[in-house]
Amino acid sequence: MHEILKLQQKIVPELMTLLEKRYNILRTIYYNQPIGRRILAKKLEIGERVVRTEINFLKEQNLISIGTPGMLVTREGEEIIDKLKGFIREIKGLTEVEDYLREKLKIKKVIIVPGSIDEDETVLDELGRTAAKYLESVIVDGNTIAITGGTTIKKVIDNFSTSLRYRNTIVVPARGGMSRKVETEANTLAANFADKLGATYKLLHVPDNLSSEIMNVIINEKGIKDIIDTIRKADIIIYGIGRADEMSRRRGLSSEETSRILKGGSVGEAFGYFFNNEGKVICSTPSVGLKSDDIRNAKKLIAVAGQKSKAEAIISTQINNNNNVLITDEGAANEIVRILNTK
C-alpha cells in the first residue's frame, strides 16, 4: 500500500493535491458548521468560484448537506474525514516522521496530525480530536486523571465524546490556577471532562505563584491537603506545553525573574517547570499540585501541543522522557525534525 501511494505521488501528483484540498474543505466545514460559502472561502483563503465547484462535488457525493443556516457535514462525510486523515498521513510519510521523533526524543509514542496550525486554525481542532480519541483508548475506569489548563487542552475536552461509563474515575486539575480565562482554567476543564466521563471531580481553588509562606499554610489545610494527595496519585496526566518567554509572562513573573529564566537557557515550560534545550529543569514556580516525582510515577503522560514556534519548547519538555506520548501537528513536527538535525 505504501509503495502504491509513492507511485501515485510521482505519476499523478495533482491527484494528491486535489485530495488534500477536498479534505481540508471538508474538515473546515466540519469544525465550523453550519457555515456559509463566503465565510468558508475566507477561512480557506481561496476563491469563491473554486469553493463553489468543490461544494457542488461534495454535495453530489452526499458528504455535506446545504440548508438555510449553511453547510453541514453528513455522517458519511464524518467517516470520510477520519479515513482521509490516515490516507494523507501515509501520503506525507508522517508515520516515518513519528518513528524518527520517537527514537530521537527517546519517548514512548508520537502522533502527528496532518497540517499546520499556523496555516489552518482547524488543525488545532483536529489536534484536539486526535488527542481525545487516543485518550479514550487508554482510560480505564478507576483511573485518577490530572489535566492542565490552556486552549489546546480545552480542544481535547471539547472533542471528547460523552461516555458516561467511568463512575469510579476521578478528574482533577494538575496545578493551581493562573488567573486567566476561566473557560481554559484547569478547574473548569476538569469539571467539564468529568461530566463527559460520568466521573467525579475534585477542584483546587488555589492560585499559583503565592509566596512560600502563604503556600505552606494553605497546603496544610485538611481540605486542600486531601485534594493535593489525590492529584499527586494521578494515573494519567494530560498537559500542554508553552514557550518559556510566554509562560513566564502568563504566570505573572516579574521582568527580573523572566530575564533570569531566559538567560539561564529556558526555552519550554510544563507544570510550572522551565526546561532548557537539553531537557533539564532550570527552575520552577511556586505551585500546589503535581511535583516532578509525581509526573515520573504516572502510568501515562500525554502531551498535546502544536505550532512551529513551540518546536524548541516541545523538544525541551519531551527529550529523554520515555513514558511520554506526544500529540502534535505536522508543522511543529517538521520544525522539530529540522532543529534535531542541526544539533
Which positions ≥6 away from 82 have C-beta within 8 Å? Answer: none
Q: Are residues 231 and 213 in the same domain?
A: yes
Q: What is the pLDDT of residue 180?
A: 65
Are the CB atoms for 92 and 103 separated by under 8 Å? no
Nearest to 317, CA basis, from 330, 301, 331: 301
What whole-number distance in Å separates Cα of residue 302 and Cα of residue 242?
A: 15
- Quick check: 294 pLDDT over 70? yes
Indicate the DSSP class of residue 198: T
- Show Cβ contacts of residue 133 under 8 Å, excluding neighbours closer than 6 positions: none
Q: What pLDDT shows up at residue 44?
A: 87
User: Do 105 and 57 fall into the same domain?
Assistant: no
Which of 31, 64, 89 marks a domain boundary?
89
Tell me: do 194 and 109 sit in the same domain.
yes
- Non-local (6+) Cβ contacts of 223 within 8 A are none
Q: How confident is the model at residue 96 (pLDDT cuts 50, 70, 90)?
A: very high
Q: pLDDT tens for residues 136-183?
A: 999 999 999 999 989 999 999 999 988 888 999 999 998 866 556 788
**For 39-48, how does the pLDDT look when each residue is reduced to its tens digit (9 = 90+)?**
999 888 888 8
Contact 204, 224 (CB under 8 A): yes
Domain at 37, CATH number? 1.10.10.10
pLDDT tens profile 247-270: 888 777 778 888 888 888 899 999
Q: Answer yes or no: is pLDDT of 11 > 70.
A: no
SS3 141: coil
Question: Domain residues for 246?
Answer: 93-342
State whether 25 and 132 are in the same domain: no
Contact 43/32 with Cβ under 8 angstroms? yes
Which of 49 and 8 is assigned the larger pLDDT?
49
Pair 131, 236 in one domain: yes
pLDDT at 262 (0 to 100) = 87
Q: What is the CATH number of the domain that holds 127?
A: 3.40.50.1360
- Smallest CA-to-CA distance from 262 within 251, 246, 239, 241 is with 246
pLDDT exceeds cutoff 60 at 1: no
Residues 108 and 130 in one domain: yes
Q: Angle at CA 32, nearest 5°, toward 246 and 241?
A: 20
What single letter denotes the amino acid at residue 141? Answer: D
Listed residues 35, 64, 89: the one ending a domain? 89
Q: How far is CA 184 from the centre of its chain?
A: 13
pLDDT average, residue stretch 61-86: 91
Find cell 473554486 and name the residue. 50
- 47 and 103 belong to one structural domain: no
Are residues 11 and 100 located together in one domain of the fold?
no
State the DSSP H helix or E strand holding residue 73, giving kind and residue range, or none if neither.
strand 71-73
Structural domains in the chain (count): 2
The grid coordinates listed for 305 are: 501541543
| Domain match, 136 and 243 both | yes
CA 288, CA 219: separation in Å to the nearest integer?
A: 7
DSSP letters for 84-133: HHHHHHHHHTHHHHHHHHHHHHT-SEEEEESS-TTT-THHHHHHHHHHHH
- Would you say residue 225 has pLDDT above 90? no
The percentage of the chain sitting over the pLDDT mark of 70, rounded to a whole number, equals 89
pLDDT value at position 310?
96
Could you give phi then psi for residue 309, rounded to 5 degrees? -65, -15
- pLDDT for residue 112: 96
Q: Are residues 249 and 264 in the same domain?
A: yes
As a whole number, mean pLDDT of residues 205-223 equals 66
213 vs 175: CA distance, rounded Å:
18
Listed in order, strand segments (DSSP E) in 185-280 are 200-201, 236-239, 242-243, 266-270, 273-276
> Are 37 and 182 in the same domain?
no
Q: What is the pTM of this model?
A: 0.87
CA-closest candidate to residue 146, choices 107, 178, 194: 194
Which amino acid, one-letter code, is at 27?
R
Q: What is the largest CA-CA distance in the chain?
A: 69
Domain boundary among 38, 64, 89: 89
Residue keyed to cell 483508548: 137
Per-residue confidence band for 210, with pLDDT thresholds at 50, 70 and 90: low
| 223 and 285 co-located in one domain | yes
Say if residues 301 and 84 touch (Cβ distance below 8 Å).
no
